[in-house]
DNA sequence: CTGAAAGCGCTAACAA
DNA sequence: TTGTTAGCGCTTTCAG
């Protein structure tokens, strides 16, 4: 007996010949789904009635409703989301675009977005770009096709003129189809562009981290993870510089080390600085991942943290609190960032009054065990 | 001048009065997207021609194609994915259902799925359940509506009769609409059910971990993270027991400690065991997160790892290699697991011959610094 | 090579 | 209270 078949035989379907119960059992065979018409026929009512019962937005006799619901159950019917979408109803979806979901900060942002979206009945489409800006472009267009209610772009970028122009195009392009561009942890665009921005106090966190080291007495602080033009790196670097300036400590080019936000960059930068005999008593790593590499670099040189050299990171990834010593770092409320991004854009969409389209969450230093006053001796 | 407006004025639209360029600038105002008809009108051709040019699957004059493409550019037109889907074309989507994307193992699986899906032109819908099985049900139905090509359920579960029945229903229900249930890191269902299963050698890894400790000379090994009925926990526990049996070491109930797969569970279990004066020289934590808690528990009791007590984890999360000492653990190829899940289901769908519907990836112990022979003294 | 028109599955007037 | 029907935007025969 056919698995999905109803109790009593169904009269010949409209068109396509009757598949057997197991629809897609064959490789990729497009199954014959039951449609609202099947349900209507089975229940002996019209499609409109079925629609009404299912939407539950219109008066329907108790008995009719029962008949319909029974038919639905018998046929294991679910509505076709695409048809609903086309007809104007249908669940909205939010698109989330990020480099790599395995990076802790991104995963947290993603979790925040997804939770808030789900809470408000939206679906969440996730696309990763592995840092490929070309793919980002393709993805945004794809999302425009998908009628995504919003497209949330996550994470810092190479901040160029070309980039700004592309984003402006994205913003307008999405706006023109009723969608919305959201920049999360990314610098804002021109004020007149239709986009929502959710930032965190990137520079302030770096300022705080540096000030923490300075107030401990450090004067030679190695900054690791500078990246010319990368928005996040630039913000952190300028927070570092700003604090130095406020403490009347001269900046030194040899203390600002280039490097990506990866563990390996931290390792290499510290090794090089050591090899070049650059004097420093503390390391400010632009991310916790970089700090991990720096830690290894220090250790392989026989330097203890924090006794010989202090180390501070940025991001406060869960791992930070598990290291030995526990890593002092800058806490960024990533999950909250994601949640806020979703909230703002959905508030605006749901017509909630006073929905802002620009927010900045604050960051703060979390002092743990990897920072201490500089050792009195040399270095 | 209207942003999306064409060069020369367009004759009055079919129905709704002409919105201005900026479509959705108002909160959630459903914008007037340009449709294929707009493009056709603008290009002075029929919609069929536009469709053909865009699909590029039919001979079209060079000049006609040019006209169409120009119109597309002028109107910044993108097709409506829902309409395409309804008409039978359209990008497929894969649904990924997991407890929490911030958990390292899940994030890695997710990354694997997403990458493989993207590589093969599919979109990836992510839903989290926070361990709520009720929500899992709702999500699967939602995915059925969405016409997801596959629904990938990730991670261990409470393995009950009720669960098995629900999964059977899922499997058949998805199959009946041409979709496919995929179980990733979850026990398989009955053989005759339409589902794809991608497992890893859960029990084998635990056996290896335990054997590693046994061969170092440990005989009293605390297992932390037992959970009656939880499939993953059960598998690991039985690997532990199996190794003990093979080494002719008697199992002891007081050595098997209950607890969730969370850091806190590890901490509590070790504290309790210590308080109860249970003798042990090694700890096998059911996950690396549990190992983290166990490590803290050992340390606060003044016990050194591995000098006083050896510690081994499971999962090989990135953090494992950053701990002091570096954590010995069982490596699970999570990303590969996700990639495989996507690959199998898409192979089958794309009609690639010989696509299996059941695979098991292997695991292996990664020996690092947290395990050593037991100390000669007491304990 | 191009166009007209019939669906795809659902919703929402409009009628009855 | 229920049914009929005209779209929603796109693809795809079938004619020309």
Q: Does position B4 have pLDDT exceeding 50, yes or no?
A: no
Q: Predicted confidence band at B347 (pLDDT cuts at 50, 70, 90)?
A: very high
- Looking up tokens 């949640």 gives A339
Lowest mean pLDDT among A8-12, A72-76, A103-107, B368-372: A8-12
Distance, CA of A122 to C1' of D11, in Å: 29
pLDDT over threshold 50, residue A1: no
**A43 CA, C9 C1': Å apart:** 18
Q: Are B230 and B157 within 8 A, CB to CB?
A: yes
Give the mean model confidence (pLDDT) for residues B277-286: 98
B48 touches strand D (CB under 7 A): yes
Top mean-pLDDT range of A110-114, A166-170, B129-133? A110-114
Which nucleotide comes closest to B39 if you measure CA to C1'? D9
**A69: Cβ under 7 Å from strand D?**
no
Q: What is the mean pLDDT of residues A34-58?
A: 93
Report pLDDT for A28: 44
Question: Integer distance in angstroms from CA B71 to C1' D11?
Answer: 20
The beta strands (E) that lie in chain B are given as 93-98, 123-128, 150-154, 181-184, 195-200, 221-226, 256-258, 282-285, 310-312, 329-331, 358-361, 364-366
As a whole-number percent, the residues of chain B with pLDDT over 70 amount to 91
Statement: residue B80 has pLDDT above 80? yes
Q: What is the dihedral of CA B211, B215, B218, B220, to 10 degrees?
A: 30
pLDDT exceeds cutoff 70 at A367 = yes
Q: Residue A281 CB closer than 7 angstroms to strand C?
A: no
The alpha carbon of residue B102 is apart from the nearest alpha carbon of chain A, in Å, by 5
Of the pLDDT bands very low, low, confident and very high (cuts 50, 70, 90), residue A15 is very low
Domain B93-200 matches domain B203-331 at the CATH topology level: yes
Whether CB of A47 is under 7 Å from strand D: the answer is yes
The whole-number pLDDT of residue B354 equals 74
Q: Is the CB of A14 under 7 A from strand D?
A: no
Look at residue B339 in the predicted model and tell me its pLDDT. 98
Please indicate whether, in this complex, the C-beta atoms of A127 and B123 are within 8 angstroms of each other. Answer: yes
Distance from residue A87's CA to nucleotide C12's C1', rounded to whole Å: 9
By C-alpha to C1' distance, D3 is nearest to A46
Q: Can you tell me whether residue B17 is helix, strand or coil?
A: coil
Has residue A233 got a pLDDT over 60?
A: yes
> Is the CB of B125 less than 8 angstroms away from the CB of A123?
yes
Q: How confident is the model at residue A13 (pLDDT cuts 50, 70, 90)?
A: very low
CA to C1' distance (Å), from A376 to C2: 86
- Reply yes or no on whether the pLDDT at B61 is more than 70: yes
Å between CA of A2 and C1' of C7 = 27
The answer to whether the beta carbon of residue A91 comes closer than 7 angstroms to any atom of strand C is no
Mean pLDDT of A95-106: 97
The residue assigned the tokens 């540096």 is: A210
Give the pLDDT confidence of A300-324 residue by residue, as tens digits. Answer: 999 999 999 999 999 999 999 999 9
Residue B7 has pLDDT above 80, yes or no: no
Confidence of residue B352 (pLDDT cuts 50, 70, 90): confident
**A45 CB less than 7 Å from any atom of strand D:** yes
Tell me which chain A residues have a C-beta less than 8 angstroms from the C-beta of B147: 80-82
Alpha-carbon distances of A137 from A134, A169, A261, B179, rounded to whole Å? 5, 10, 23, 29
Res A31: pLDDT: 60
pLDDT at B375: 87
For the cut 90, the answer to whether the pLDDT of residue B377 exceeds it is no
Inter-chain residue contact B4 with A176, CB threshold 8 Å? yes
Q: What chain A residue is nearest to B79 in terms of C-alpha separation?
A: A145
Residues of B in contact with A93 (CB under 8 A): 125
CB contact under 8 A, A178 and B29: yes
Q: Residue A20: pLDDT above 60?
A: no
- 3-class DSSP state of B298: helix
Residue A325: closest C-alpha in chain B: B324
The yes-or-no verdict on residue B314 having pLDDT over 80 is: yes
Query: CA geometry: angle at A100 spanning A99 and A104, to 5°?
Result: 120
If one looks up domain A203-331 in CATH, what number appears? 3.40.50.2300
Give pLDDT tens digits for B22-35: 344 444 444 678 99
A4 touches strand C (CB under 7 A): no
Delimit the domains of chain B by residue range. 19-79, 93-200, 203-331
A178 contact residues in B (CB cutoff 8 A): 23-24, 28-31, 33
Nearest to B369 by CA among B289, B317, B293, B307: B307
pLDDT tens per residue across span B293-313 = 999 999 999 999 999 999 999
pTM of the model: 0.91
SS3 state of residue A314 = coil
**Do B102 and A108 lie within an 8 Å CB cutoff?**
yes
Q: What percent of chain A has pLDDT over 70?
A: 91
Per DSSP bridges, beta strands B150-154 and B181-184 are: parallel
Spanning CA of A351 to C1' of D2, the rounded length in angstroms is: 34
Is B16 or B221 the better-scoring residue by pLDDT?
A: B221
Class of domain A93-200: alpha beta
Tokens encoding A289: 């991942």
Whether residue B95 contacts residue B143, with contact meaning beta carbons closer than 8 Å, is answered with yes
Q: Phi first, then psi: what are they for A35, rounded to 5°?
A: -110, 180
Q: What 8-state DSSP symbol labels residue A254?
A: G
The reply to whether residue A126 touches residue B114, judged by beta carbons under 8 angstroms, is: yes
Percentages of chain B per state (helix, strand, coil), in multiples of 5:
45, 15, 40
CB contact under 8 A, B28 and A80: no
Q: Which of A141, A305, A167, A283 is nearest to A224 (CA)?
A: A283
Report d(CA A8, CA A5) in Å as an integer. 8
Cβ atoms B197, B358 nearer than 8 A: yes
Q: Which of A4-13, A280-289, B223-232, B253-262 has the lowest mean pLDDT?
A: A4-13
Cβ contact, residue pair B78, A30, below 8 Å? no
pLDDT at residue A2 tops 80:
no
pLDDT at A120: 95
Residue B3 pLDDT > 60:
no
Let me know: does A323 contact A295? Beta carbons within 8 Å. yes
On chain D, which bases lie within 7 A of the protein's CB atoms? 1-5, 7-13
Instruction: Enumerate residues 6+ apart whose C-beta is below 8 A from B300.
Output: B271
Q: pLDDT at residue B65 above 60?
A: yes
What's the mean per-residue pLDDT of chain A? 90
The nearest CA of chain B is from the CA of A107 a distance in Å of 5
Query: In this predicted structure, which of A4-8, A179-183, A349-353, B287-291 has the lowest mean pLDDT?
Result: A4-8
Check B86 against A90: CB less than 8 A apart: no
Of A3, A194, A322, the CB nearest to B176: A3
Q: What is the per-residue pLDDT for A377?
A: 62
Are the beta carbons of B111 and A126 separated by less than 8 Å? no
Protein residue nearest nucleotide D9, by CA to C1' = B83
Place of tokens 């959905």: A346
Mutation pick from A176, A285, A311 vs chain B, by most beta carbons of B within 10 Å, is: A176
| pLDDT for position B31 | 60
pLDDT beyond 50 at B256: yes
- In the predicted model, what is the mean pLDDT of chain B? 90
Q: Where does the pLDDT of residue A354 fall: very low under 50, low under 70, confident under 90, or very high at 90 and above?
A: confident
**Contact assessment for residue A129 and residue A103, using Cβ atoms and an 8 Å cutoff:** no
**A101 touches A126 (CB < 8 A):** yes
User: Model confidence at B89, in pLDDT bands (50, 70, 90)?
Assistant: very high
Instruction: Give the relative orientation of helices A263-275 and A288-300 as an angle to the nearest 10 degrees.
Output: 40
Average pLDDT over residues A321-339: 98
Provide the CA B332 to C1' C5 distance, Å, integer: 56
Please give the average per-residue pLDDT across B237-262, as a whole number.
Answer: 97
Residue A358 pLDDT > 80: yes
Would the pLDDT of B361 be above 80? yes
Retrieve residue B100's tokens.
């929490």
CATH of B19-79, one of 1.10.3210.10, 1.10.260.40, 1.20.58.710, 3.40.1160.10: 1.10.260.40
What proportion of chain A, given as a percentage, has pLDDT over 90?
84
Across all strands, nucleotide nearest A43 (CA–C1'): D2
Residues of chain B contacting A16 with CB distance shorter than 8 Å: none
Instruction: Give the pLDDT mean for A9-25.
Output: 34
Where are the strands (E) in chain A, listed by range?
93-98, 123-128, 150-154, 181-184, 195-200, 221-226, 256-258, 282-285, 310-312, 329-331, 358-361, 364-366
pLDDT value for B351? 81
């Amino acid at each position: 007996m056919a698995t999905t078949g109803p109790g009593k035989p169904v009269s010949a379907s409209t068109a396509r010949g009757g598949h057997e119960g197991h629809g897609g059992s064959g490789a990729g065979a497009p199954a014959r789904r039951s449609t609202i018409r099947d349900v209507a026929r089975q229940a002996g009512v019209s499609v409109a009635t079925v629609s009404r019962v299912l939407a539950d937005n219109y008066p329907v006799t108790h008995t009719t409703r029962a008949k319909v619901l029974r038919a639905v159950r018998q046929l294991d019917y679910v509505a076709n989301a695409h048809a609903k979408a086309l007809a104007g109803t249908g669940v909205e979806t939010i698109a989330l675009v990020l480099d790599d979901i395995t990076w802790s900060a991104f995963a947290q942002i993603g979790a925040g977005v997804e939770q808030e979206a789900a809470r408000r009945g939206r679906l969440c489409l996730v696309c990763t770009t592995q840092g490929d800006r070309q793919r980002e472009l393709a993805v945004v267009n794809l999302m425009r096709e998908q009628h995504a209610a919003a497209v949330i772009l996550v994470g810092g970028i190479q901040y160029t003129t070309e980039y700004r122009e592309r984003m402006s195009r994205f913003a307008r392009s999405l706006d023109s189809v009723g969608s919305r561009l959201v920049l999360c942890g990314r610098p804002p665009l021109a004020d007149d562009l239709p986009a929502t921005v959710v930032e965190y106090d990137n520079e302030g966190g770096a300022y705080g981290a540096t000030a923490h080291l300075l107030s401990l007495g450090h004067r030679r602080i190695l900054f690791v993870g500078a990246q010319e033009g990368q928005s996040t790196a630039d913000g952190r670097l300028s927070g570092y510089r700003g604090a130095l300036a406020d403490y009347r400590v001269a900046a030194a080019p040899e203390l600002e080390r280039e490097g990506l936000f990866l563990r390996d960059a931290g390792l290499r930068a510290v090794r090089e600085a050591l090899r070049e005999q650059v004097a420093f008593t503390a390391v400010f790593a632009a991310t916790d991942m970089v700090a991990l590499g720096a830690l290894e670099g220090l250790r392989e040189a026989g330097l203890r943290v924090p006794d010989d050299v202090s180390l501070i990171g940025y991001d406060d990834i869960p791992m930070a609190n598990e290291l030995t010593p526990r890593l002092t770092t800058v806490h960024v409320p990533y999950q909250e960032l994601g949640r806020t991004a979703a909230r703002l854009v959905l508030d605006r969409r749901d017509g909630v009054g006073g929905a802002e389209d620009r927010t900045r969450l604050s960051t703060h230093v979390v002092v743990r065990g990897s920072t201490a006053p500089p050792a009195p001796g040399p270095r």
